């Protein structure tokens, strides 16, 4: 990954050049400046969008990547050595010698391995100057390439001329055929059958896919040759046909969007050839745009499908072609299909040529990119192609294998397994179906295929990989590392967005864009990948905020292959033989299985990231001195592993502990640390706190601190941290003006307090929270030392910062003045009140309060009556009530709230459930069928209505969290 490597090293060099710390000045400043300039030049070269994906660029990127890796290894190894020598005391090294991560014997002390690594890397690469010379040679080659491109003649549309190649397309797949003329306008449909002799592959393998034309822009003549029946897309077909015929007479653009291989072209072709559509429209034309389109050929192909001018069209100028096309469409009701559009520019070139005579004309556009669809028509709904259900998948698979015949009984169960493993992707089902169709229909063979579905798909039809690779090749350089990084996660892994973003930031994949934070940039990158249909959304919140995501198994398989080719990532599991050389040379290791390996001689390893995503034992001999990311949440520690503080390049640490854990003050020497996550593995014994040093708030790069019941004393001086955004899981934090002044840019705060009946809350200074002007999310929990202790009253004069969007309060007594304080927060969107008592059993909301509140959760309280007007909660989307044993009913006035979408109930009285369904019925009578009522658990006499829950749910609060997460409303 040349771009990611360049970006990472330039950021490191910027840090060195602007640092006042002498320990970071490693070489001559002139040498560092020269290196920085060369890297910046190459970075700009890759950022230039005119450089398209080609073998030449790929080779050049490999050279850039390897040279940059070498320079980065030398720079960072020297930084590590200087920082360690300058900052670590003798007692730190002694502690390191006497302590091992797992208490194993006969393990070389970590600091000795670090020393060996620091002394070895620069010698290994022959010094920094040699690498600079190598980068200089690459820069000269880049300049020559730019000079050659400047001399190339431009095409009429402004693009550069390329070789005389044409693209043969097989349902979202482009296969380049060289040494063919670029203009095949005279080829008829019958003559197209002869092209199979040119393609250097097995024709039988290709017949299993629905074929498209051999031109970069296709006419309706070829589109009409489709002989394949529509399977699995009946609903999509009906929806699109309705939009084509029944709806407005104005010109409409209908965009069909989805990932490669999901069936966009197949759907468009079946619509195009439908008898009703043929009869309804006067003119139909089909053009395939593809990644490398030519405007002149695109226009000529459209006209060629409507006229008999043939080769004469290709002799005309672009403006003349545009005029003829516009005139041809002017007096007709037309249907245009623009298939496989990759650029907004392609649409911009032709959109003004399509007249709107209010006669019901339509344009269908298929694309993998949501932004292209929105650009074409931001007012109309986009038709997103979804994965097939199991039933439809099985139907499509059976048709490909057996045609009109039935599947033999002995193969039905295995067929279901195969269909499941294709995960609803039509292209995978078609490829597997073609393989099974040509093989013996034996149970043994089908069982073998069921065990190896992914490899059967990719190995038996190489162009399947090309279908998916097109999306990767089209990615801008800034997104490629982020996309390939998804390979660190196992199959079917539900990825929390906050987790993913912190990793991206720590890896250095993101380019700072003032005034946005890196986290905001990461969210934009993620949304971009989603819009390109490469990442799937699992859950969004009430407000559309992305919560979790995932990737299709076959996309993941492509990612892992590509990442290994790029020496970017290596996934370790039981199926792959472990090679020490591979481990040494890869920048990132992701462990997905219970793996034991001995790599004691890893002192010269250049691994930057180690992620343990499966329960396994980490060998004590592993020592990666240049490590940036350590995610070891699947490894349980009895105490904090002191060796970590020697890894001065660390930016991200995630650990789990069981016993008493104290983080040493020396962790503050990790000057690059951005994220520290230390959670506790639950055990059925007394609660053990995590003790944190006050110095932790002085770490300059720290952005996220996440703990579970960690005690953090206030720092003793005025040192502050302007980067800290997240601080959660802190017990007894004193919100003094001095303490909050050090973390004034905090966006998320989670604090908890233990109390007795005589506890004085004034010592915690909670009223000072109002000074955190950037704070958006606040969770404040109160825990009694004894359950017999009455709820502690929340301070009446408590105030909150004005920008607060999400507020959770639990375990206290709330006054009506507090409720008015909550309601007066102008930006509050989420309010959760749990395990609390009202001062009175009646809650009366007031006009003008909770103006922006979208989600309200009330749980485990003494509320009995609730009085509210529909205008009091004008923006409410979700109301959830959990374990409200005294509540009589939901006020009927709730039905007047126009935005309400969900009422979720957990362990409420039957009268509450009845009132919820009554509100739903009233809404339905008013024509609103969108309101959902989810009643999960309530008591009837001595029995309970049960709800099926997943493994690991052990208490009502966990169950309710699970319920809300399934609704994607929190």
Same fold, 166-384 and 390-465: no
Mean per-residue pLDDT, 691-710: 89
Give how far Cα 242 sits from Cα of 40, 208, 376, 502, 547, Å.
53, 30, 20, 45, 34
From CA 695, how far away is CA 699, in angstroms rounded?
A: 7
Give Cα 286 to chain centroid, integer Å: 34
According to the model, what pLDDT value does residue 793 have?
80
**Other CB atoms within 10 A of residue 641 CB:** 21
Q: Is the pLDDT of residue 253 over 60?
A: yes
Q: Is the pLDDT of residue 107 over 90?
A: no
Tokens of 307: 């006229």
From CA 486, how far away is CA 571, in angstroms rounded?
A: 11
N- to C-terminal Cα distance for the chain?
Answer: 37
Q: Is the pLDDT of residue 922 over 80?
A: yes
Nearest to 73 by CA among 141, 126, 3, 17: 126
Nearest to 619 by CA among 111, 117, 102, 105: 102
**Please, what sign has the CA dihedral across residues 105, 107, 112, 114?**
negative
Residue 575's Cβ-count burial label (10 Å; 0-12, 13-18, 19+) is: exposed
Tokens of 285: 């034309």
Question: 88 Cβ partners below 8 Å, 6+ apart?
Answer: 646, 666, 669
Query: Does 171 or 585 have the greater pLDDT score?
Result: 585
From CA 61, how far away is CA 410, in angstroms rounded?
A: 52
Contact 790, 757 (CB under 8 A): yes
Q: What is the DSSP string of 811-870?
A: SEEE-HHHHHHHHT-TT--EEEEES-EESSSEEE--TTSSTT--EEEEESS---EEE--T
pLDDT band for position 718 (50/70/90)? low
Tokens of 380: 């109309």
Q: Is the pLDDT of residue 96 over 90?
A: no
Region of 924 please: left (phi>0), alpha (psi -120 to 50) or beta.
alpha
From CA 912, how far away is CA 931, in angstroms rounded?
A: 16
pLDDT band for position 446 (50/70/90)? very high
H or E element: which one contains 465?
helix 462-473
Three-state DSSP class for residue 85:
helix
**Other CB atoms within 10 A of residue 937 CB:** 19
Query: Does 642 or 225 have the greater pLDDT score?
Result: 642
Q: Is the pLDDT of residue 499 over 50?
A: yes
Give Cα 800 to chain centroid, integer Å: 32
User: Kind of pairing, strands 570-572 and 588-591?
Assistant: parallel
According to the model, what pLDDT value does residue 577 have?
59
User: Kind of pairing, strands 174-177 and 166-169?
Assistant: antiparallel
Query: Does 479 or 93 have the greater pLDDT score?
Result: 479
From CA 582, how far away is CA 588, in angstroms rounded?
A: 10
According to the model, what pLDDT value does residue 115 have?
54
From CA 103, how far away is CA 99, in angstroms rounded?
A: 7
Three-state DSSP class for residue 143:
helix
According to the model, what pLDDT value does residue 616 have?
56
Contact 480, 472 (CB under 8 A): yes
From CA 334, how far away is CA 34, in angstroms rounded?
A: 60
From CA 497, how far away is CA 520, in angstroms rounded?
A: 12
According to the model, what pLDDT value does residue 248 have?
81
Mean per-residue pLDDT, 107-136: 65
pLDDT in tens, 125-172: 557 888 999 999 999 988 888 776 655 544 444 444 433 333 323 333
Contact 418, 443 (CB under 8 A): no
Region of 850 please: left (phi>0), alpha (psi -120 to 50) or beta.
left
- What are the φ and ψ backbone dihedral angles of 650, each rounded to 5 degrees? -60, 135
Return the residue matching tokens 């003798």: 90
From CA 181, how far away is CA 198, in angstroms rounded?
A: 13
Three state DSSP letters for 666-698: HHHHCCCCCEEEEEECCCCCCCCCEECCHHHHH
Q: Is the pLDDT of residue 226 over 90?
A: no
Tokens of 622: 């592993």
According to the model, what pLDDT value does residue 816 have?
79
Give how far Cα 409 sits from Cα of 388, 417, 617, Å.
23, 14, 45
According to the model, what pLDDT value does residue 863 have?
87
Pick the CATH number of 390-465 from 4.10.60, 1.20.120, 1.10.3430, 1.10.8: 1.10.8
Domain positions in the chain:
2-151, 166-384, 390-465, 840-970
Strand-pair partners of 654: 631, 677
Provide the percentage of residues in the chain whose pLDDT is more than 70. Answer: 76
Q: What angle do CA 374, 380, 381 make, to 5 degrees?
A: 85
From CA 447, how far away is CA 413, in angstroms rounded?
A: 10
According to the model, what pLDDT value does residue 576 have?
56
According to the model, what pLDDT value does residue 181 have?
32
Provide the percentage of residues in the chain whose pLDDT is more than 90. Answer: 33
Give how far Cα 120 sits from Cα of 28, 85, 123, 283, 604, Å.
20, 16, 5, 72, 7
Mean per-residue pLDDT, 543-558: 88
Mean per-residue pLDDT, 795-824: 86
Mean per-residue pLDDT, 397-413: 90
**Please, what sign has the CA dihedral across residues 142, 144, 146, 148?**
negative
- What is the number of helices (H) and of strands (E) in the chain? 31, 35
Indicate the average pLDDT of the chain. 79
Q: Is the pLDDT of residue 759 over 50?
A: yes
Q: Which of 383-387, 469-473, 578-582, 952-956 has the lowest mean pLDDT?
A: 952-956
What DSSP character marks residue 378?
Answer: S
Q: Which of 174-183, 354-363, 758-767 has the lowest mean pLDDT?
A: 174-183
Give Cα 409 to chain centroid, integer Å: 41
Tokens of 269: 């072709």
pLDDT band for position 468 (50/70/90)? confident
Nearest to 151 by CA among 165, 163, 161: 161
Q: Note the pTM of the prediction, 2 decimals.
A: 0.82
**Please, what sign has the CA dihedral across residues 568, 573, 576, 577?**
positive
Q: Which CATH architecture has domain 166-384?
A: 3-Layer(aba) Sandwich (3.40)
Cis-peptide, bond into residue 515, ω within 30° of zero: yes
pLDDT in tens, 15-62: 888 876 555 555 567 888 889 999 999 999 988 755 555 667 888 888
Query: Does 219 or 879 have the greater pLDDT score?
Result: 879
- What are the φ and ψ backbone dihedral angles of 54, each rounded to 5 degrees? -155, 170
Mean per-residue pLDDT, 525-553: 90
Nearest to 694 by CA among 654, 725, 652, 664: 664
H or E element: which one contains 590?
strand 588-591
From CA 311, how far away is CA 325, in angstroms rounded?
A: 16
Residue 97's Cβ-count burial label (10 Å; 0-12, 13-18, 19+) is: middle
Nearest to 417 by CA among 468, 451, 389: 451
Q: Is the pLDDT of residue 762 over 70?
A: yes
User: Kind of pairing, strands 166-169 and 383-384?
Assistant: unpaired
According to the model, what pLDDT value does residue 506 have?
95
- What are the φ and ψ backbone dihedral angles of 867, each rounded to 5 degrees? -115, 125
């Amino acid at each position: 990954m040349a771009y990611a490597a360049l970006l990472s090293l330039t950021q490191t060099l910027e840090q060195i050049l602007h640092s006042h710390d002498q320990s970071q000045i490693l070489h001559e400043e002139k040498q560092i400046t020269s290196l920085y300039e060369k890297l910046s030049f190459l970075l700009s070269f890759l950022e230039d969008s005119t450089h398209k994906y080609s073998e030449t660029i790929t080779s050049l990127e490999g050279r850039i990547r390897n040279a940059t890796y070498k320079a980065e290894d030398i720079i960072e190894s020297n930084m590590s050595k200087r920082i360690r020598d300058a900052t670590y005391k003798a007692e730190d090294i002694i502690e390191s010698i006497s302590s091992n991560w797992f208490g194993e014997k006969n393990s070389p002390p970590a600091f000795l391995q670090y020393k060996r690594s620091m002394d070895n890397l620069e010698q290994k690469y022959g010094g920094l100057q040699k690498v600079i010379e190598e980068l200089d040679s690459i820069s000269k080659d880049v300049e020559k390439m730019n000079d050659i491109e400047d001399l190339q003649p431009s095409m009429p549309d402004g693009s550069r001329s390329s070789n005389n190649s044409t693209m043969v397309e097989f349902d979202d797949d482009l296969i380049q055929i060289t040494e063919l003329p670029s203009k095949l306008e005279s080829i008829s449909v019958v003559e197209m059958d002869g092209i199979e002799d040119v393609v250097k592959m097995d024709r039988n393998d290709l017949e299993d896919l629905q074929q498209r034309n051999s031109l970069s822009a296709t006419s309706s003549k070829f589109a009409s040759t489709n002989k394949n029946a529509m399977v699995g897309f009946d609903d999509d077909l009906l929806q699109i046909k309705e939009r084509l015929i029944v709806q407005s007479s104005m010109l409409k653009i209908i965009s069909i969007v989805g990932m490669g291989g999901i069936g966009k072209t197949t759907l468009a072709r079946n619509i195009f050839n439908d008898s009703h559509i043929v009869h309804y429209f006067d003119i139909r034309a089909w053009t395939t745009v593809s990644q490398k389109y030519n405007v002149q050929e695109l226009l000529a192909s459209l006209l060629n499908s409507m006229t008999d001018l043939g080769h004469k069209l290709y002799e005309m100028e672009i403006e003349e072609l545009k005029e003829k096309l516009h005139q041809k469409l002017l007096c007709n009701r037309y249907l245009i299909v623009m298939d496989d559009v990759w650029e907004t520019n392609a649409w911009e070139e032709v959109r003004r040529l399509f007249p709107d005579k209010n006669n019901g004309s339509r344009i269908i556009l298929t694309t993998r990119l949501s932004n292209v669809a929105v650009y074409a028509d931001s007012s109309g709904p986009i038709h997103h192609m979804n994965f097939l259900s199991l039933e439809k998948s099985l139907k499509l698979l059976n048709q490909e294998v057996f045609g009109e015949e039935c599947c033999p009984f002995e193969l039905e169960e295995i067929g279901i397994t195969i269909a499941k493993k294709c995960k609803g992707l039509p292209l995978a089902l078609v490829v597997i179906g073609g393989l099974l169709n040509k093989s013996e229909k034996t149970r043994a063979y089908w069982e073998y295929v069921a065990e190896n579905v992914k490899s059967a798909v990719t190995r038996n039809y190489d162009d399947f990989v090309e279908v998916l690779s097109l999306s990767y090749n089209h990615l801008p350089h800034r997104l490629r590392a982020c996309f390939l990084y998804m390979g660190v996660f196992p199959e079917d892994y539900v990825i929390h967005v906050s987790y993913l973003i912190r990793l991206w930031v720590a890896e250095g994949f993101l380019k700072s864009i003032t005034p946005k934070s890196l986290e905001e940039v990461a969210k934009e990158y993620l949304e971009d990948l989603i819009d390109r249909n490469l990442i799937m959304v699992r859950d969004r919140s009430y407000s559309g905020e992305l919560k979790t995501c995932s990737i299709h198994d076959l996309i993941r398989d492509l990612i892992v292959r590509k990442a290994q080719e790029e020496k970017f990532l290596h996934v370790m599991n039981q199926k792959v033989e472990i090679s020490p050389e591979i481990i040494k040379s890869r920048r990132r290791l992701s462990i997905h299985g219970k793996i034991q390996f001995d790599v004691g001689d890893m002192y010269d390893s250049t691994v930057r990231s180690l992620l343990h995503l499966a329960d396994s034992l980490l060998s004590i001999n592993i020592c990666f001195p240049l490590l940036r990311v350590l995610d070891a949440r699947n490894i349980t520690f009895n105490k904090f592993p002191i060796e970590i503080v020697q890894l001065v390049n660390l930016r991200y640490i995630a650990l789990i502990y069981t016993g008493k854990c104290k983080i040493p003050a020396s962790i503050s020497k990790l000057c690059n640390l951005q994220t520290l996550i230390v959670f506790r593995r639950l055990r059925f014994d007394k609660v053990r706190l995590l003790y944190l040093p006050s110095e932790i708030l002085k770490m300059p790069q720290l952005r996220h601190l996440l703990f579970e019941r960690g005690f953090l004393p206030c720092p003793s001086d005025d040192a502050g941290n302007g980067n800290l955004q997240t601080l959660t899981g802190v017990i007894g934090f004193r919100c003094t003006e001095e303490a909050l002044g050090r973390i004034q840019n905090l966006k998320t705060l989670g604090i908890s307090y233990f109390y007795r009946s005589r506890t004085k809350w004034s010592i915690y200074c909670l009223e000072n929270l109002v000074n955190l002007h950037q704070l958006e999310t606040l969770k404040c929990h109160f825990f009694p030392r004894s359950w017999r202790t009455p709820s502690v009253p929340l301070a009446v004069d408590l105030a909150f910062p004005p920008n607060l969007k999400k507020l959770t309060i639990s375990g206290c007594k709330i006054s009506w003045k507090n409720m008015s304080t909550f309601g007066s927060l102008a930006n509050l969107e989420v309010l959760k009140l749990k395990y609390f008592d009202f001062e009175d059993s009646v809650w009366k909301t007031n006009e003008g309060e909770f103006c922006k509140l979208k989600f309200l959760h009330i749980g485990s309280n003494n509320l009995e009556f609730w009085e509210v007007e529909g205008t009091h909660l004008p923006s409410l989307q979700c109301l959830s009530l959990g374990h409200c044993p005294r509540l009589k009913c939901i006020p009927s006035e709730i039905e007047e709230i126009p935005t309400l979408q969900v009422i979720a109930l957990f362990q409420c009285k039957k009268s509450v459930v009845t009132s919820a369904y009554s509100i739903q019925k009233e809404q339905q009578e008013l024509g609103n069928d969108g309101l959902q009522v989810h009643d999960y658990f309530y008591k009837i006499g001595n029995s309970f209505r049960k709800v099926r829950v997943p493994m690991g749910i052990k208490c009502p609060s966990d169950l309710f969290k699970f319920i809300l997460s399934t609704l994607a409303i929190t």
